[in-house]
Chain A
């Protein structure tokens, strides 16, 4: 599809016809430089990435270069760019740059160091959460799009239900009942697979036919589940779950990831539904390529474009969500600095020390903005139909 469009563009003489064909990457580079906002977004994103990486190295360890937890009570609430009062500080307390670049907070901690530490949190939360949601989304969407037409039999549903119920009972604490139900489920699945191989011809008794009736397609099942997940007001759900789980960075990432995969699933499913009818998939199947290979080598690379776009914008959303959670006090636990909780600490001094609000606020704003712009640019670039408009 994409190369066709490009060939067409070159055939019609819009480009110099004799230029050597450029690789995907070169084309991408050319297009993104033409889209100025997206280019700015990409630049800021790369800068942010290296800042966060550098921040991680500079602020961690036993003797970090910038110590985000160093408390200097006599130096509290210094405005940005102020120089420390050297006489009152012990030598190891003097900030490395010789001045407080972003000022200090109410405990005299260097806001610059804390911002550096927080950058890494924002980055990892964004990427890991979106990574989880994209993986789950591709898996479930692919399942639904590729195998969706297969129907589930009632007995299979019952067995799965038994397993699920058993697991639930086990987790609640009703061990014996849980084990029983689980056992029934597994033995049924085990025997039904054996049975099918052993005596395929034997037709089941009449009353058994109810159980072998084909109930719903996998597609319906999965998409209804997606609808149910979409019913949650996501921020409130995240808030609830995070408040009930022990607070840690990883819990937040996982929760954000697990509540935001529905969009990806829908994209992937739609793409798969159209891709599986195309000739190259039929050809691959005719060659005897296995299902999984078709999915991973032939279909996912073709379906990845909208996923990439939504992932980029998803990172922005995840960073915002994390900042919001930290702001409400449900985020990463206190000694660790995040942009959200710097802001949250600063809100009490909003008139006396506005930099505590503005520095992290603008940092979040700029990073999220850059992700959004880049994602939008990516959408224009990866979608040849939109490209012609500009």
Chain B
């Protein structure tokens, strides 16, 4: 529960560096300080980053602006995915904990393993085939190309359709893992003394589950909530490139293909910062929610 700040900020992007020089030797060595030794480049990079001057090597746009644009695109995907994950996995997990060992529990367990094990890209194609052949809606990209002057509602529906599939996909693994976790938490809490006391008092079963057990089982999920932040980048690379969604993961993927180091480094840096921020938020939340924890 310690907040892991500062250590190793610089080392976080180190593995990328050794390739700095040989790749781009001929082109613009001068203007990107590539003729300087590695550590100088490194200092330059951070100086540029903090003064907001980092530019992409590919098209000379400001990296921060680019990332911000892409971030805004990724955000709805992430938010919808998270909402789907959290609204679905709790009922599933709770119900399978209550009927432990029953048919529902066992099938839910099996399905969650199925969802964990299915490769995201494969599942994406299954869904694409299904949706495209059944409902005849376009799914690739953020909006239908050349829609232009369509009426308001159809525009919104278009957006929703495009948003739905990628975010469902992003949510699948999350649902599976989270519902398993909810289940085990509920099981643990249900065997506590205070739950038995509540039962002994004659509290109706519903109330035991939802008022006495669930409230205490919720505690660890506060930490989970902080930890989903980094999923904003890492989790979405494959999905965004399948659906041609112009988000952060896809930008990173393209940057890697183009050997666009400032972008790669900055995305890595941003994601490390996100992890730190997530951990910090979850620690603080935990402290607020659980009076037993004092930092």
Partner-B contacts on A (CB < 8 A): 37, 171-174, 224-225, 227-228, 230-237, 239-241, 243-244, 316, 320, 323-324, 327-328, 343, 347, 350-351, 354, 357, 360-361, 364-365, 368-369, 371-373, 376, 389-390
**Across the interface, do B11 and A240 meet the contact criterion of CB distance under 8 Å?**
no
Question: Is B52 close to A, CB under 8 A?
Answer: no
A40 to B209, CA, bound (A): 33
The answer to whether B129 touches A324 (Cβ under 8 A) is: no
Min CB distance, A40 to chain B, in Å?
A: 10
Q: How far is the CA of A351 from the CA of B233 in the complex (A)?
A: 30
Report the stretch among B24-32, B148-156, B158-166, B235-243 that lies at the interface: B235-243
List residues of chain A with CB within 8 A of the CB of B234: 233-236
Tell me the smallest distance from the CB of B134 to a CB of chain A, in Å: 13
- Report whether over half of chain B's contact residues are helix, strand or loop; otherwise say mixed: helix
**In this complex, what residue of B is CB-closest to A259?**
B15
A172-B237 in contact (CB<8A)? no
Q: Choose among A320, A327, A360, A369 the residue that contacts B114 (Cβ–Cβ < 8 A).
A: A369
Q: How far is the CA of A243 from the CA of B252 in the complex (A)?
A: 11
Specify which of A173, A174, A361, A372 is in contact with B113 (CB 8 Å cutoff): A372
* Smallest Cβ-Cβ distance to B256: which chain A residue: A243
What are the residues of chain B within 8 A of A228 when measuring CB–CB?
4, 7-8, 11-12
Give me the 7 closest cross-chain CB pairs, A-B, nearest first.
Answer: A233-B234, A361-B122, A369-B117, A228-B8, A227-B4, A368-B117, A243-B256
Interchain CB contact under 8 A, A364 and B272: no
B129 contact set on A, CB distance < 8 A: 350-351, 354
Q: How far is the CA of A230 from the CA of B237 in the complex (A)?
A: 18
Distance in angstroms between the alpha carbons of A240 and B118 in the assembled complex: 23
A376 to B252, CA, bound (A): 34
In contact, B125 and A327 (Cβ under 8 angstroms): no
Q: Are A235 and B235 in contact (CB under 8 A)?
A: yes
Q: Which residues of A contact B4 (CB under 8 A)?
A: 224, 227-228, 231
Say yes or no: A233-B119 contact (C-beta < 8 A), given A172-B38, A228-B7: no
Q: How far is the CA of A372 from the CA of B114 in the complex (A)?
A: 9
Q: Complex Cα distance A205/B129, Å?
A: 77
A330 — nearest CB in chain B belongs to which residue? B256
Determine the distance from Cα of A336 to Cα of B113 in the docked complex, in whole angstroms. 30
B223-259 with Cβ < 8 A to chain A: 230-231, 233-235, 237-238, 241, 249, 252-253, 256-257, 259
Interface residue tally on B, bucketed by range: 35 or more
**When the two chains form their complex, are residues A324 and B119 in contact, meaning their CB atoms are under 8 A apart?**
yes
Q: How far is the CA of A364 from the CA of B125 in the complex (A)?
A: 14
Is B92 close to A, CB under 8 A? no
List residues of chain A with CB within 8 A of the CB of B249: 236
CB nearest neighbor in B for A172: B38
Interface residues of B in 247-292 (CB under 8 A from A): 249, 252-253, 256-257, 259, 264, 267-268, 271-272, 275-276
Give the residue name and chain of the A residue nearest to B110 (CB).
Answer: A37
Q: Which of chain B's residues have a CB closer than 8 A to the CB of A372?
A: 113, 116-117
Q: How far is the CA of A389 from the CA of B234 in the complex (A)?
A: 37
Q: Cα distance A373–B110 when bound, in Å?
A: 9
> Which residue, A228, A235, A236, A373, has most C-beta atoms of chain B within 10 A?
A236
Q: Say which residue of B16, B18, B38, B238 sits within 8 Å of A240 (CB atoms).
A: B16
Tell me whether A243 and B119 are in contact (CB under 8 A): no
Q: Does residue B211 face the partner (Cβ distance < 8 Å to A)?
A: no
Please measure, in the bound complex, the distance between the C-alpha atom of A299 and the C-alpha atom of B146, giving whole angstroms. 66
B214 within 8 A of A: no
Q: Are B252 and A236 in contact (CB under 8 A)?
A: yes
A378 CB, nearest partner CB in chain B, Å: 14
Residues A368 and B253 in contact in the complex (CB < 8 Å), given A231-B4, A235-B234, A376-B113 = no
B238 and A328 within 8 A (CB):
yes
Q: Given the interface contacts A236-B268, A240-B16, A328-B238, does A231 sit within 8 Å of B275 by beta carbon?
A: yes
Task: Quote the shortest CB–CB distance from A112 to chain B (angstroms).
Answer: 19
Which chain B residue has the least Cβ–Cβ distance from A369? B117
Across the interface, do B268 and A373 meet the contact criterion of CB distance under 8 Å?
A: no
